[in-house]
């Protein structure tokens, strides 16, 4: 299969600290690492490492961070021919604080991602499509409107979107916070809605009725950054390959769990062999 991902591309600056700060507090003793990130880029790489052909449509700045942000995508064979460079902007940056239990706090400076306009999109997007909400909403909705096949909408971070886009989605993925933000709007269409539940796994609904549920394998969490994106890439690959809902959820939960066992967003994303070994 060949999946198109329309989404953000960032460089993640990750501070691993003895604990996460409270509001107004400074925590010292952290170590700093730099990793490629951005929800669009993460989900593109996740799907690629799980066996799909992937094309990423996005935007970076004309700076050294752009090369860092796309290195792992390029090395994995993600098609970057539709990634444009904006000379007047910096590549997007995410500032991430990670605690010893793997929990994190994230602040994103979108940079060039804000410049991804509908005019950058092809007139028709053939094949499956994955989108998130780290690009301008108008661009995300235009991408969904031009899709001709399966559409997955990851409603992260939560923001107001059109009911038309929600109804068009074949698959909606949210976490518990995002599910509370959208409430019943999630179930207005006929597509499947997956809610991730952290350590409790994930549940799938269709037309408001639960149709599947799965728990993740037990792992030792190091950094939750990228785990949700690993889940999105995996659930799309699994469903597109024809897995039944429960099997698809187990596959995606395993991918997300593996991502949480390693630091960084993209460096933590598992391969197909790793996911299958954990499930076995």
* Catalytic positions: 229
Q: Please state whether 29 falls in left (phi above 0), alpha (psi between -120 and 50) or beta.
A: left
Which helix or strand (DSSP H or E) is residue 202 part of?
strand 202-206
* Measured distance CA(55)–CA(57) in Å, rounded: 7
- CB atoms under 10 Å from CB of 184, counted, come to 7
* Measured distance CA(196)–CA(65) in Å, rounded: 31
Secondary structure (DSSP) of 21-84: PPTT------EEEEEEE-HHHHHHHHHHHTT-EEEEEEEEESSHHHHHHHHHHHHHT-EEEEEE
């Amino acid at each position: 299969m060949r999946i198109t991902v329309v989404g953000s591309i960032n460089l993640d600056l990750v501070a691993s600290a003895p604990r996460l700060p409270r509001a107004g507090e400074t925590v010292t003793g952290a170590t700093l690492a730099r990793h490629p990130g951005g929800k669009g880029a993460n989900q593109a790489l996740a799907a690629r490492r799980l066996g799909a052909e992937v094309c990423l449509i996005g935007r970076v700045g004309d700076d050294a961070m752009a090369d860092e942000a796309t290195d792992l995508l390029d090395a994995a064979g993600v098609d970057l021919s539709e990634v444009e460079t904006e000379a007047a902007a910096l590549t997007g940056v995410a500032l991430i604080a990670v605690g010893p239990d793997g929990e994190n706090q994230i602040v994103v400076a979108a940079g060039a991602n804000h410049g991804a306009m509908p005019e950058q999109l092809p007139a028709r997007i053939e094949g499956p499509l994955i989108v998130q909400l780290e690009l301008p909403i108008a661009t995300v909705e235009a991408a969904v409107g031009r899709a001709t096949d399966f559409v997955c909408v990851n409603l992260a971070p939560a923001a107001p979107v059109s009911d038309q886009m929600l109804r068009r989605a074949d698959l909606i993925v949210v976490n518990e916070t995002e599910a509370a933000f959208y409430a019943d709007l999630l179930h207005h269409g006929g597509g499947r809605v997956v809610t991730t539940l952290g350590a409790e796994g994930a549940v799938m609904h269709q037309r408001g009725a639960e149709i599947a549920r799965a728990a993740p394998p037990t792992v030792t969490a190091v950094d939750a950054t990228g785990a949700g994106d690993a889940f999105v890439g995996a659930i799309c690959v699994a469903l597109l390959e024809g897995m039944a809902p429960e099997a698809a959820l187990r596959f995606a939960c395993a991918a997300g769990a593996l991502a949480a066992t390693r630091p960084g967003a993209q460096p933590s994303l598992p391969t197909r062999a790793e996911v299958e070994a954990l499930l076995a």
